Amino acid sequence: MSGLRFPVGRLPDEALLSGLATGDPELAEVFVRRFQHRVFGVAMAVTRDQQLAEDVAQQTFERAWRHAQIYDSRRGSVGTWLTTIAHNLAVDAVRARRTEPMAPEDLDPLLDAVTETPERWALADEASTQLRAALARLPREQARALMMAGIYGMTAQQIADAERIPLGTAKTRIRAAMAKLRAALACPKGGDHVR
């Protein structure tokens, strides 16, 4: 491909992804350079750990290489597809590292990372946008309980212990948050009633 008359760096994202899939080293390098900052940024926003974010970024590009043939431009841009992979891998990495419940004071930055970060524009598919918006409208204590249960797999008892609240209150927060999310996602246009 080095015999092209125009700079390789100006190729469309889809062409670079195809080059990555075929193993073209020049196109693969340009592809990684084009997206490395965005992918690392998403990974860093979720993991808050540079080494883990670097590992996630590496895994993201490996997965993109292995699955480039299933990319579908009708479902979003290459950048969105790639950052979605990075986000999912980062969330999985955070979950895998947690051998004990997350400290409640550490949840607020994670909740912010899910609802209000630079990755918001990168993960722009309609369902995830609606979910993040509905989650952001939940009362903070309900959103925290839902994140503890949904992302970290904590039981209601573990949430009650971590938040220093009665078990019934933890269950109520989870149930209320789930009901509000279901209602917001069932009728996304009128989602203001989530409060």
Mean pLDDT by 10 residues, the chain (195 residues): 58 84 86 91 88 93 88 84 91 76 67 55 56 85 87 84 92 91 69 46
The predicted structure's pLDDT at residue 54: 93
Alpha-carbon span 40 to 52, nearest angstrom: 10
The predicted structure's pLDDT at residue 28: 87
The predicted structure's pLDDT at residue 141: 92
- Compute CA distances 192 → 2, 90, 173, 187, whole Å: 54, 30, 19, 10
- What is the three-class DSSP state of 174? helix
Closest CA to 7 of 24, 30, 25: 30
The predicted structure's pLDDT at residue 186: 74
Tokens coding 120: 């918001």
Closest CA to 83 of 36, 116, 50: 36
- What is the DSSP secondary-structure string of 107-149? HHHHHHHHHSSTHHHHT--HHHHHHHHHHHHS-HHHHHHHHHH
The predicted structure's pLDDT at residue 55: 94
The predicted structure's pLDDT at residue 181: 83
The predicted structure's pLDDT at residue 189: 52
The predicted structure's pLDDT at residue 164: 92
